[in-house]
């Protein structure tokens, strides 16, 4: 039996949180395979429709990081 891996969509501000995720990749720090990062110009541009669409397309969780 396989272990459950949640699908997480992370909406990240390009000026803050996305830079941290990019730096982690450059330093070869890994994160779980189930995480998908979506780069945003600003978290203020995130519309609730994007969050709901993530759930409709199978995401188990949504994270917004600014």
Please state, rounded to an integer, the average pLDDT across all residues of the chain. 91
> What six digits make up the tokens of 43?
């978290």
2 inside domain: no
As a whole number of angstroms, the distance between CA 10 and CA 51 comes to 10
Q: What is the pLDDT of residue 1?
A: 64
Number of domains into which the chain is organized: 1
32 inside domain: yes
Sheet holding 61-65, edge to edge: 35-40, 8-13, 61-65
Bridge-partner residues for 10, per DSSP?
37, 63
Q: What is the pLDDT of residue 50?
A: 96
Digit-coded pLDDT (tens) for 33-59: 899 999 999 999 899 999 999 999 999
52 inside domain: yes
Average pLDDT value for residue range 23-37: 88
Domain that holds residue 56: 8-65
Return all residues near 33 (Cβ < 8 A) that are at least 6 apart: 5
19 inside domain: yes
């Amino acid at each position: 039996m396989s272990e459950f891996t949640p699908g997480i969509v992370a909406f990240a501000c390009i000026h803050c949180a996305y830079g941290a995720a990019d730096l982690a990749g450059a330093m070869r720090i890994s994160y779980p395979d189930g995480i998908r990062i979506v780069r945003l110009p600003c978290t203020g541009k995130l519309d609730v429709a994007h969050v709901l669409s993530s759930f409709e397309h199978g995401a188990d969780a949504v994270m917004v990081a600014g």
